[in-house]
Amino acid sequence: MRLIAMVILGSALLFAVLYGGFIAGIVLREPDVCFLLAMGRWMAQHGQIPAVDPFSYTYLAFPNGNAYVVYQWLSEVILYAVQSLAGPIALLVFTAVLQGITFVVIPLRLFALAGGNIALGSFFVFLVTLASLSHPSVRPEMFSFLMTAVLLELLARLARRGSGKAIDWYFVAFAFLLQVLWTNLHCLFIFYFILVGFFAICLGSYSLVKKEKLDGHFRTAVAAFLAGALATLINPYSFSIWPFTFLMLSDPINKTINELRPMSFAVLNNVLNYPWFLLAILSLVVFLFSLRKKVTSGEQLYFLLLTPAAILMSFLAVRTFPLAALLMSCAIAFSALMKPADGKLAQLGRDCQSVIAPLSLMWLLSISTFCGFGAYLLAAKIIPPTIPQGSAAFHPPFDAIRFLENDKSSPLKRNMLKGNMLNDAHYGAVMMWQMANPPKVFVDPRYFLYNVQIMNDYWDMVLYRNKPEALLDKYKISWVFLPSTSALARELSGQPSWQLLYSDTDAVILARNKWQNDSAFLP
């Protein structure tokens, strides 16, 4: 059995290399990384957080009524610091290591903390890791995934300690520091209160039903909940981060973002979602069998209910698949089904515990190293990274951007760059990062910055519907930078009032002829 355990460990390390390489090959395909790095660069260069948006002209001209809050400023500074110090390869290695810790290291540690079978746990962690690939990206949410995994481990450690009546102040202090970081990293810091609050509710409810006194675990959870609330005030915006976060998460613009919509059959079109569905099915099976076991503690009730909570969360927004995978792994780890008492499987689990040692520093360092090596190998030797990386869905307009930066000799070009631009949203993000002095954008993927009317008008213009010419005049658009396949680009290319300045297979740049001599179109 020990030999099999060593094979499992070797397979895990090999898988870590492949996982890191796969991450490096796909995470830069989302152009969102560009506006994150651009904002991080702006803050690094200016030594402050911007009070108004430095990249968009429509946000100021047509405000959405919300305060301007750079809610993920710390993530943006960290990502830019990694990229600026060691380049895009380092950014990929950093991302792979973070993902490896979040979805490989900590989930198996949860099985060890729960006293579960490590051999069975290795299989489920394999599924969790594959499920995390349903939404991989270099974005601040990866820090939220890490914070969630760390918090789940903290709660698992609390659950295995003797209850007593005293508050575990070490847990409270660590949770406080975790929440300070989380609040400045990403808007999902509110998930802390869901996990800790639900933990306290389960413990309190169980004690109430059993007519038992509230123990130290409950008191610790309540103290951590209150400490977390205090921790959220340690950010550049203090309490204002709260109303902004809820306004942003409930903004009507979210209905236009596919990843924030409820689950539908469309998710089946992406094969990367299939491991998540397999994990969800197995989690439900484990949950249903676990219902047959008597619940003997509030902690057991909490970990049991994580599975339906994860499934519900996933139905509300498909973007939460990786988070749900973490919750399901924790629920499975604490299931009684993961603790076979005897037999060959139990012996294999004990041997895996001895060989892998999930709670050791070596497990953390090994997976981190192999994930990072996989990312480095692919980025340095196979697919050199660009920011962003091209894909079948998006072709970065690098040549067009070089044209804008390098050929400004003509008066038309100089005047054109001073006028209001209508740009593709993703092109806007690429310009923000690739250009030293980018023109102010009409829109970019930070959709929450813009009011719904701006976004509706943007789509009406780009898709050439609902009198787009009037909208071009409304916003005093003097030039457009759009994909060559867009309806507006095709229409304007045939109009004498517009001049084609640049065109390739991906993008076109057109300028309005009359705006230069017409004061009505001066920005």
Q: What is the pLDDT of residue 522?
A: 45
Summarize pLDDT for 222-281 with one digit per residue, the tens.
999 999 999 999 999 999 999 999 988 887 777 767 667 787 777 888 898 999 999 999
Nearest CA among 337, 301, 308 for reference residue 324: 308
Q: What is the pTM of this model?
A: 0.93
pLDDT for residue 521 = 46
Q: Which stretches of the chain score pLDDT less than 50?
A: 521-523
pLDDT in the model for residue 89: 97
CA-nearest of 221, 322, 231 to 273 is 322
**What is the edge-to-edge ordering of all strands in the sheet holding 477-483?**
420-423, 477-483, 507-512, 498-503
- Residue 149's pLDDT is what? 98
Find all residues with CB under 8 Å of 314, minimum gap 6, and list them: 263, 276, 280, 320, 321, 324
Cα dist. 121→18, 58, 109, 148 in Å? Answer: 20, 51, 9, 19
> Cis omega (within 30 of 0) on the bond before 388?
yes
> Three-state secondary structure along 342-361?
CCHHHHHHHHHHHHHCCCCH
pLDDT at 515: 57
User: Could you tell me the residue ranges of all domains in the chain?
Assistant: 2-380, 398-521
- What pLDDT is recorded for position 518? 54
- Residue 162 is predicted with a pLDDT of 80
